[in-house]
Amino acid sequence: MQFSRNLVFGKGKYLFGLILLFTSVICLAFSMDDSNDFDFARREVLLRRIGHELLLQAGDSTSRVLPVAKIDENEYQIRFENELTFQPEFLVKTTGSLLGKDPLTRDYVVNVLNCGNSTVAYGYAISQNKKDDIVACMGRTQPKACYIVSIKFKPEGLSTTKNGYLLGSLPFLALVGFIFFRSVKPGKAIPERTEHKATIALGSVLFDAESRKLTIGGHSLDLTATESRVLLIFARAPNETIERNRLQKEIWEDEGVIVGRSLDMFISKLRKKLELDPNVKIVVIRGKGYKLEVSA
């Protein structure tokens, strides 16, 4: 009896030690916040410096670089007070030189957007592995216009570090779960409830996003996967303006560099398929984006 108690006590001490170690690892991961916050703030200063160098290269030493906008966790936009012209070769060299001073920067994609419609005027990708760099059209000076320099970084640094600690701790969590719950008798399984997405009615048009089909006046039309994703965004907000940036982000955010005219191509294809019903059409909202107009 005493031996059993000692054995249980010994196991308890061992388990407590493992839990204490796990807690320490998590605390260490999150204690890195302060140093990484400093690095991110330093990155924004470097981005403003890129804008400053572009203005000087364009012969503008008086207008301002507007505050750097953080679009997403790893995406920033450099905006300018006035129009400017730029040389792609100078942009590539300047960003490479300045971002080389950023300890969190390894891979990134640069897109120069036109302010009015967010189409891509010029873009390139830089990788830590130089053979994966994608840079073209170096010798062509871009015309004077209103530009936004968008820079998207590959997620690294703080998030990767935390994920490494947390993922590395999963085997330990599994062990703890096994120790504490192996004697628990499983209850009766609850049948999984299946939910089928209802067909979306857009006037007389029926849109089945799951099977990617349109039914208009008895005619059935097949949609591609991307066409269906585009139309689903519109179908969830009929008669509301959807910004071009939002469409591009939701459709292509995991597929690398966005080709500026890709969205226009898919919008055009959807328009042709919706022509069978004149009461349902996609219209351009100049300077903003698009709207799916559904008339009564």
HEC letters along 216-252: ECCEEEECCHHHHHHHHHHHCCCCCEEEHHHHHHHHH
Distances (CA, A) of 129 to 41, 157, 158, 169, 236: 26, 18, 21, 30, 41
Burial of 228 (0-12, 13-18, 19+ CB in 10 A): buried
Is residue 158 within 8 Å of residue 35, measured between CB atoms?
Answer: no
Domain ranges of the chain: 33-153, 200-294
pLDDT of residue 66: 92
Pick one of 3.40.50.450, 1.20.1250.20, 3.40.50.300, 1.10.10.10 as the CATH number of 200-294: 1.10.10.10
The β-bridge partners of 289 are: 243, 285
- Structure confidence at residue 186 (pLDDT): 46
Tokens of 231: 């139309």
44 contact partners, CB below 8 Å, separation of at least 6: 68, 70, 76
DSSP per-residue codes, 39-91: HHHHHHHHHHHHHHHHHHHTT-SSSPBPPPEEEETTEEEEEBSS-EEE-HHHH
pTM of the model: 0.44
pLDDT values of the chain reduced to their tens digit, one per residue, 296 residues: 444 455 445 556 556 666 766 666 565 555 555 556 777 788 888 899 999 999 999 899 899 999 998 888 889 999 999 999 988 999 998 998 888 877 777 789 999 999 988 898 888 888 877 776 788 777 778 899 999 999 998 886 544 445 555 556 556 555 655 565 455 444 444 344 334 456 888 888 899 988 999 998 888 999 998 889 899 999 999 999 999 888 888 877 655 555 556 788 888 999 999 888 889 999 999 988 999 999 86
Sole residue written with tokens 């022509």: 275
Both tokens assigned to 98: 């300045």
168-171-177-180 Cα dihedral, nearest 10 degrees: -110
pLDDT of residue 138: 73
